[in-house]
Chain A
Amino acid sequence: MSKKSEIAAAQSERVDLTRALRDAGLAALLAFALFLPLIGFWARNVGEGLLLVTRWDALALVVLIVAAARLFYTLVAQPWLKRQRARRTEIAPPWRTALAKWFIPFAIGFVVVYPLIAIAGAGMRGSIKWVDNFGIQILIYVMLGFGLNIVVGLAGLLDLGYVAFYAVGAYSYALLAKTFGLTFWILLPLAGVLASFWGVLLGFPVLRLRGDYLAIVTLAFGEIIRIVIVNWVDLTNGYAGITSIPRPTFFGIPFNADDNGFAAVFGLEFTPLHRTLFLYYIILGLALLTAWVTVRLRRLPVGRAWEALREDEIACRSLGINTTNTKLTAFAMGAMFAGFAGSFFAARQGFISPESFTFIESATILSIVVLGGMGSQVGVAIAAIVMIGGTEIMRELDFLKEIFGADFDPTKYRMLLFGFCMVLIMVWRPRGLIATRRPSVFLKERKTISADLVKEGHG
């Protein structure tokens, strides 16, 4: 680089710095106006009434954070993003293709041995939290994500009421297990069948709808089912929920401290970890089954018809494809996996209530699918780990209390950050983390298809 251009570059950088400072100042001003009413003032509940309190320190802190974030964005993040974008056109380096090749077997291997790692790291008692809150919790969402991926990612039908089928599965298990004393392994498929029946039932009236309309009607159906669960107290016990749901047993051997319990029978010392491990491997098996079935379905005519439906419904009809049946099978398959997950959820918790099946759950599952990159199973799994693991880890940030004082409760900010990250990730990668599509069949070589060509469906 010549001396002259070096000077020019340095100058432009200086200009950039003043511009960045000005931007940060503007952002601070805007943040001040934006947060003045609701952070600067606080309508504090005192007894029955309200007391108006000012919080200038909190307002100042937020304004400073916004200014700093804006400064960071213009000086660091924006140039970095620009470089990334410029680089994207180049051919992927060899390490990337190698990574892509070995990633899936490695990831499956990792989740299989994950509980052992947790035990080694946190001991027998400490590991329960890591296997349950992180392992099982994330895997439930991975499975739900895989199920919804069939409906949204493959068939392109936007479903905002997916949690209804999860609820149907959970309540089917809870009620049938308590009333008829049926076991988990009989009720698991039954819950799946019931949920897919509901999938078809609710899918039928919305077949003609497109776009956001479909999303809103499915949302309405989801809410109707939830309100019915809340109000049909005789059956569901309303808000109070259903308690003491039978837990799954190891081929008839319960996981308890009794003489005929799992620990006694196998001559082990009793620990609740046994059941947690058992549940972990059940949900892992279910999630892998869902993934495997989806992979298979994509190579079958029905899976290709789903994707074709997402690309162009009219063309599908002109090729003799019965789009009604195709859509209904997508709804039914998606709902079935939600039903499996729901009955697993009820069996794991031992307690369910309508609280677990709100719209936020549907939104979470949908955002996992979209953030993952529609249609990509690896993407969905990564998104579930990021979203669910990320919010779970907020519970573990007790050390922040050391910094911000004992009043500071990080869990309070969990959903706040969750919503914020949803916006952030969408703005950063609108097509999701893994945006390319893998063809289901090939003649000579399998080339991935860029997201720009893949349609998102009309539903």
Chain B
Amino acid sequence: MTELRDTVLRVEHLTMRFGGLVAVDDLSFDVARGGITALIGPNGAGKTTVFNCITGFYNASEGRLALLHGDPALWNLLDALTAGGSRSLRQGNSALFLLERMPDYLVTQQARVARTFQNIRLFPGMTVLENLMVAQHNALMVASGFTVLGILGFPSYARAERAAIEKARSWLDRIGLTARADDPAGDLPYGAQRRLEVARAMCTDPVLLCLDEPAAGLNPRESAELNALLLDIRNDFGTSILLIEHDMSVVMEISDHIVVLDYGVKIADGTPQEVRNDPAVIAAYLGVQDEEVEKAQAEVGL
């Protein structure tokens, strides 16, 4: 298992059924550590369902979703962990998680997988800064002695809060929203909301960042800014990124690895160059082969 050395997330035989509908069928792929992996496919291909399974919002019908922190040697213990009943396995600073066994909030809190949503889910009535503070909830909760010390006004909480504000400010600088820190998030323009959602997810200190159509609805300039932001995140924080995207300019420009889904089944998996030339991918996106289109046009007399 040499290729596993650089893997952060392993999706194996993932299947998700809703009643009789099979939304994702026996899907397997790996997400490379420190890389940008794109999950693409036509509408209704099951991409968001895969995200919801990874982040614990859905319980996968079948399959294994394993995530690694730290030492790749731990991958060798994966089968042992699966056979045992527990959710995770820790060794020093390294840990292995079985995401399908964890509820949604633990996927973020312990396995440190953060996500954004297709239809932006900010807290619109809270300020931009507050949104970023909520994202640091778990760290601040510990610092406030689970509320008790915080209520009594211990200085340790005040220190932690200042540090959290500082961290939020550094993210605001990065996404260019420092001037709007005290405005409600619901007042921001669309593109800024998208960037804020990414920053908010990053405030949870994720190992893996899952972005559901981050460029949807952005104009070309905003889209380019987003590309720069994602590359920054990868380079500066080493966070692995898994993204769903329809905008091919984003996908082809920044991703290292692309997985193509159609009707819940993986039809291609490789580098952008490989995927671009894959006949199955072309067929899925354009429907049919070119000569068939020509034939059909000839029949109707065009």
Contact = CB atoms under 8 A, between A and B. Distances in A.
A pairs with B: yes
Interface string B58-101: 00000000000000000000000000000000000000000000
B50 interface: no
Contacts of A440: 130, 133
Contact of B123 (A297, A312, A447): A312
Contacts of B117: 314-315, 318
A443 B129 contact: yes
Interface residues of A, number: 39
B165 A441 contact: yes
A312 B185 CA distance: 13
B151 A301 contact: no
A320 B140 contact: no
A231 to B, nearest CB: 38
Contact of B133 (A297, A311, A441, A453): A441
Contacts of B127: 439, 441-442, 447, 449
Interface stretch (B22-30, B104-112, B255-263): B104-112
Interface string A272-312: 00000000000000000000010011011110110110011
B182 A453 contact: no
B130 to A, nearest CB: 6
Given A305-B137, A455-B124, A318 B144 contact: no
A305 B130 contact: no
Contacts of A314: 57, 117, 121
A299 B160 CA distance: 12
Contacts of A442: 127, 129, 181-182
A459 B136 CA distance: 24
Interface residues of B, number: 48
A297 B130 contact: no
Contact of B134 (A299, A304, A437): A304
B150 interface: yes
Contacts of A320: 105-109, 137-138, 204
Contacts of B123: 307-308, 311-312, 315, 455
B57 A302 contact: no
A50 interface: no
A425 B155 CA distance: 44
A323 interface: yes
B125 A454 contact: yes
Contacts of A449: 125-127, 184
A296 B134 contact: no
Nearest to A300: B150
Nearest to A308: B134
A238 B135 CA distance: 50
Given A305-B134, A321-B137, A441-B165, A455 B125 contact: yes
Contact of B55 (A302, A312, A318): A318
B185 to A, nearest CB: 8
Given A318-B115, A439-B126, A443-B181, A453 B134 contact: no
Given A449-B184, A453-B186, A321 B125 contact: no
Residue of A314, A442, A447, A449 with most partner-chain B CB within 10 A: A449
Contacts of B124: 311, 453-455
Contacts of B161: 299, 441
Contacts of B130: 304, 307, 439-441
Given A317-B105, A321-B105, A322-B105, A296 B150 contact: yes
A83 interface: no
A444 interface: yes
Interface in A409-459: 437, 439-447, 449-450, 453-455
Interface in A117-157: none
A315 B187 contact: no
Contacts of B165: 441, 443
Nearest to A456: B125
Nearest to B140: A301
B214 to A, nearest CB: 14
B200 interface: yes
A444 B127 CA distance: 12
A305 to B, nearest CB: 6
A378 to B, nearest CB: 18
7 contacts: A296-B151, A301-B144, A308-B137, A315-B122, A318-B108, A319-B200, A320-B204
- 8 closest cross-chain pairs (CB), A and B: A454-B125, A320-B108, A320-B109, A311-B123, A315-B121, A443-B181, A453-B186, A301-B140
Given A316-B134, A446-B182, 20 more contacts: A296-B153, A297-B151, A300-B157, A302-B141, A302-B144, A311-B126, A315-B123, A318-B117, A318-B121, A318-B201, A320-B109, A320-B137, A320-B138, A321-B137, A437-B125, A439-B182, A441-B133, A443-B129, A443-B178, A444-B181
